[in-house]
Structure 1
Amino acid sequence: MKIKHIFLGIGLLATAGGGLSSCTDLQEKVYDQVTSQNYYQTKDDVIHAVFRPFEHTYYSMWQVHEHEELPADQLVTVVRGDWWWDGGKWIMYHRHQYDGIQYNNPGSGEWTSEWELMYQAIGQCNLVLDDLAELNPATFKITDTEWASYIAQLRCMRAFCYLRLINCYRNCLLVTTSDASVSMQPENRKQVEPRVLFKFIESELKDFCLTNLPPRSGNYDGPMQGQFTQGAAAALLARLYLNAEKWIGEARWDDCIGICERIRKGEFGHYELAERWDAPFDWNNETCSEVIFAFTASFATTCHHMVNSRQTIYGRMLPYQCGPYLGIEKDGERNPRYCITPSYDNSYPNRQLFDYKLGQVSQKFLKYPGDLRWKQYKNTSNNTREGMMFLEGKIPNNTQSEGFGKSPQGYTIYLRDQVGQFFVGGESGQITGDSESKCENGDFNSGLFVVKYPFYPYEGGAYKESDHAVIRLAEVYYTEAECYLRKGDARTAGSLLNKVRERNYSSFGDNIAYEPEGRVKLNMDEMLDEWGREFLAESRRRTDLIRFGRFQEAWWDKKADADTHYELFPLSQDQLEQNLYLKQNPGYPDITR
């Protein structure tokens, strides 16, 4: 079992910043007389406090994943008998039906929850920043440079959370202190204009974090993974600039290109594309030069993105009864929550492709031959893997009499690129229940599964050891390419994409490469498809669809939206009632005031 550098928090800070009941009650809560005056005794106390918000934000990434993938066209949570019905809220996500205010509360409709989770992290950052402002670094034998870097860690995490908030809700509160006498003033309980929040995020990242965070000191982060660096702050700036036109109505393509070039050319430390497509996700990805920022994980400590619980991402992106095939049966049965949207209808025996331009995940990968990712997932020797998918077919399972996985109802599972009530007809493709292809009509045959992060055997020391790679260099290349394409330079954009794409294919010929290296022409539709291939299941699809103006379109089991108000999520009834200064986002029902 490898050892990773993971910062643990303290109970005092775990509750600071307000609970779920009030996103603006940012007062410090004191337990057992532990306060900022007597907590900070050593340098380690300071470090623990600084990195407590990181653990909270890492835990919150499951909600980020829901918000980015479930309302989009590539991943879906289908109902499998009595599994994943949950009042129909996952279907509401998929079909953009989150209008009713009675559903706009955590538990009923979780599209409101990221607001609370991000403000909790911001509250934690503000509390520690206020504490540090009252302390003398010399007391802890900390240099001024180190002290400034600790402050920059907190301000960069706060900017990360505000990036999520402006993305999802746009009209947000801007809170920078834990002092209730300030934060509870009426003028500070009102939302600011998106441009104000945008400028705040930009200034924090550009004017403070890039100056006070350390650059990457080696070829990879190693034991320092999990901390922000100058490269990570620069990459967050690139995200901000890439979406500026949508968020504040001001295109920032040149600024985005500029910061991407600075990252690629090594101004903030050494970053390099991995030779293998899967290296940024592997069990030892803290040694991967492509990873710019990741939340550290270990089976022995925390691995939120890979756990087998409700608040997970990849831990429930696996088919039922795959445990023996992967060697992970000691960690319980898999609960298949996220699968890709189907490309085929339920006609029998000659199924037909749907004609949607969005979704169609399998067809987007099959467009170019020899894609190493579109292969059956398999663990190989020495904790390595091949393939990224559970594709069509049976699941080997040596605990079953016939040698293949079975559903809870006892039929043999045959995974299909369809959603339907096949039951015992999984292998033949014959529907034995309701024939309509829709979210309500799934079974355990329905859907193919993405294995972005490897699930190596439980024994062997690599199980759930992959750090959660939130930012990687490939994103910088794709971001810069999109900006060039929007400026009319498809050839420069194509060359940037090709530098990443060449590792994804067994033979990268001119029938696959974009111009000028190949014959494939790059346009905006292809750019969006390429974002979808490279970053499938990486918690960003909703943002990309919105930026391309495609979020309102129809895809599998989702009709075209009547307008654009679903691009933002609503505020919950509880949030509105607890802060009467808040205004509901346009298009959603408000409370009676």
Structure 2
Amino acid sequence: MKITKYIIGLGMMAGAVLGLPSCTDLSETVYDQVMSKNYYNTKQDVINAVFRPFEHMYCCIWIRHENEELPADQLITPTRGTWWYDGGLWEMYHRHQYDDINQGDWLSEWENFYVGIAQCNMVLDDLNQLNPSSFGLSDSEFESFKAQLRCMRAWGYLRLLNTHRNCILTTTSDQAVNELPENRKQVEPQVLFDFIESELKDYCLAALPSKSGQSGNGAQQGQFTKAAAASLLVRLYLNAEVWIGQAKWQECIDMCKRITGGEFGHYAIADNWYEPFDWNNETCNEVIFGFPGSYGLTSWHLQNDRRTVYGRGLPYGSAYYLKIEGNGERNPKYALSPSYDNQQPRELFDYGLGMVTRKFAKYQGDIRYKQYANTSNNTREGMFFLEGKIANSAVSGGYAKNPDNQYVIYLRDQVGRFEGNAESGYISNPAYKESKLGNGDFNSGLYCVKYPFYPFTGGYYIESDYTEIRLAEVIYSQAEALLRQGQAGEAGKLLNSVRKRNYENFNANIAYQPEGNVVLDLKEMLDEWGREFLAESRRRTDLIRFGRYQEAWWDKPRDADKHYELFPLSQTQLEQNEYLKQNPGYPDIAR
């Protein structure tokens, strides 16, 4: 079992937690008397304050996962009998119908990320009033703490630039300053882009530490490093053409080369696909930045509750198969979009997007495309729950059943109310034969298991840190930028350098030219992003960058226009700030 999990930010700064400012009301409420003037007494107090916003941002990754994956083509939340209908919320996500500005999780990311930004601003303002020597800190150490906060703030703003484009830019917790009319108005995307770039490039790259050693992040896990800041710049440049209308392909390539060239420390692609996600991934050199997590402390990405990313990405009835029944049965929210229609005999859909399993089956011998199985208390194989029954020794007959014990679950790469006829593929009720989200049951859809779920009693259960940035993303970003500059051969070599670990026999029929026979174009590049980064909270962004977000895919018609590339502001947010302007195409309030 992992002895130390490097959790930072466990000491709560009461003044920061109580009375968190919102994005439009930047005042704070003081409870009791724990304020900055009497909070900071020791070096540990400074450390706790600096990393408190990290805890909040880590907690926010679930809403980003929803907003990236559920409006996209790879993951779905089908209704399962009476489960997961939720007023049609997930159907609206999937079909790009998030026009409601009064309810819906698509309204939450703005507020959640602004809370984290406000926390960063508050602590930065506090630090500017402190003397480093009073806490036994050097000036360089103190600047590094500030850089942690400024890098986290830039990460939050980068995300808001992605989701809303037209954002408020605030860098202080001073209420008088934030209440000025000019500071309550949204800035142009270019202004926010330039701010993020300057913060990362001109300050964070200088003040943050480089990675130390050659055995993963170790004790630096959960802290921003120079390479992490550089990787955020890679994301900024890769999406610049969409976000500000100016391509930054060469800037993206140049920053990628600095990372892969070792300027910021030693990073390397892992020998196996699963190492960046495994229980000891703080030792993996592919991980550039990760949020520390463990079962006994914080593991929001793997918990079996609403704030999860992967904890509800397992089929119902799988707890005994995985030996995680000590943490309860699974409540399946995230399944794979189906590749097959419900005809008899079943037929493949012909969508260019989605079709997840067919994209993996395209190249033979993919070691990821196997049934997930724990091979010990801390080893596993396979990345999917594939078609078939789920072994369950606690149920009569030896296979998992649906929650009402009415039928044996037989997972299918289809969505329909198969119920007790799933193994034969027959749907008896004609009202539920159509393949669509509203007609699902507990047989509907296969599952991606990116992170391991080791036995609950083995000591390794949900011990994995959450990998936010890994080297493969940098390499794929460089490859895409090269491809867009007409250098398909160089792009193919870069992708092959990662892909070769995923296949039993990485031969010429799998490798991209010039090392193999496969032609790399933009369509294939998007497919490869989808394979390598399946379920890693980025698919919406990739689809938009490739100009394919409006296309039709399973249970979604083609969009009428592009306004769904951004999310709306809520009615409450608009009412709280008279200067806010709704994003185009969405309902506004009377002014």
* Shared fold per TM-score greater than 0.5: yes
Q: Partner amino acid for 2:5?
A: K
- 2:13 corresponds to: 10
Alignment of 1:153-552 (within 5 A): 153-219=148-214, 220-348=216-344, 350-410=345-405, 411-433=407-429, 434-552=432-550
**Deviations, residues 427-471 of structure 1 (Å, cap 9, x unaligned):** 110013310100100000000001000000011211110000010
Find the residue that maps to 2:467 and give its secondary structure.
Answer: strand
Find the residue that maps to 2:290 and give its secondary structure.
Answer: strand
Alignment of 1:560-579 (within 5 A): 560-579=558-577
Structure 1 residue 17, shift from structure 2 partner: 4.0
- Distance in 2 of aligned mates of 1:28 and 1:566: 34
Structure 1 residue 6, shift from structure 2 partner: 0.6
- 2:87 corresponds to: 87
Check whether the contact 1:421–1:442 (CA below 8 A) recurs between aligned residues. Answer: yes
Q: Partner amino acid for 1:275?
A: D
- 1:57 corresponds to: 57
Structure 1 residue 40, shift from structure 2 partner: 0.3
Q: Partner amino acid for 1:217?
A: S
Check whether the contact 1:415–1:448 (CA below 8 A) recurs between aligned residues. Answer: yes
- Distance in 1 of aligned mates of 2:23 and 2:203: 26
- Distance in 2 of aligned mates of 1:266 and 1:449: 36
Find the residue that maps to 1:521 and give its secondary structure.
Answer: coil
- Distance in 2 of aligned mates of 1:148 and 1:24: 29
Q: Partner amino acid for 1:11?
A: A
Find the residue that maps to 1:157 and give its secondary structure.
Answer: helix
Structure 1 window deviating more from structure 2 (69-78 vs 425-434): it is 425-434
Check whether the contact 2:508–2:516 (CA below 8 A) recurs between aligned residues. Answer: yes
Runs of at least 4 residues off by over 3 Å: none
Structure 1 residue 26, shift from structure 2 partner: 2.0
Check whether the contact 2:479–2:494 (CA below 8 A) recurs between aligned residues. Answer: yes
Q: Partner amino acid for 2:74?
A: Q
Check whether the contact 1:576–1:591 (CA below 8 A) recurs between aligned residues. Answer: yes
**Deviations, residues 286-335 of structure 1 (Å, cap 9, x unaligned):** 00000000000011100000000011010000000101110100000100
Structure 1 residue 409, shift from structure 2 partner: 2.6
Check whether the contact 1:16–1:123 (CA below 8 A) recurs between aligned residues. Answer: no
**Deviations, residues 159-211 of structure 1 (Å, cap 9, x unaligned):** 00001000000000001000000011111000000000000000000000000
Check whether the contact 1:17–1:122 (CA below 8 A) recurs between aligned residues. Answer: no
Check whether the contact 2:18–2:31 (CA below 8 A) recurs between aligned residues. Answer: no
Structure 1 residue 112, shift from structure 2 partner: 1.2
- 1:592 corresponds to: 590
Find the residue that maps to 1:315 and give its secondary structure.
Answer: coil
Find the residue that maps to 1:532 and give its secondary structure.
Answer: helix
Superposition CA RMSD, Å? 0.8
- Where structure 2 has 5 or more consecutive residues not aligned to the other structure, the ranges are none
TM-score by length of 1: 0.98
Structure 1 window deviating more from structure 2 (8-17 vs 153-162): it is 8-17
Check whether the contact 1:569–1:585 (CA below 8 A) recurs between aligned residues. Answer: yes
- 1:104 corresponds to: 101
Structure 1 residue 96, shift from structure 2 partner: 0.3
Question: How many pairs are equivalent?
Answer: 584
Structure 1 residue 223, shift from structure 2 partner: 1.8
- Distance in 1 of aligned mates of 2:576 and 2:205: 37
TM-score by length of 2: 0.98
Identity over aligned pairs, percent:
65
Structure 1 residue 16, shift from structure 2 partner: 4.8
- Distance in 2 of aligned mates of 1:306 and 1:23: 28
Q: Partner amino acid for 1:458?
A: F
- Distance in 2 of aligned mates of 1:490 and 1:554: 28
- Distance in 2 of aligned mates of 1:185 and 1:472: 40
Structure 1 residue 580, shift from structure 2 partner: 1.1
Find the residue that maps to 2:187 and give its secondary structure.
Answer: coil
- Distance in 2 of aligned mates of 1:520 and 1:69: 28
Check whether the contact 2:211–2:220 (CA below 8 A) recurs between aligned residues. Answer: no
**Deviations, residues 125-158 of structure 1 (Å, cap 9, x unaligned):** 0000000000000000101111000000000000
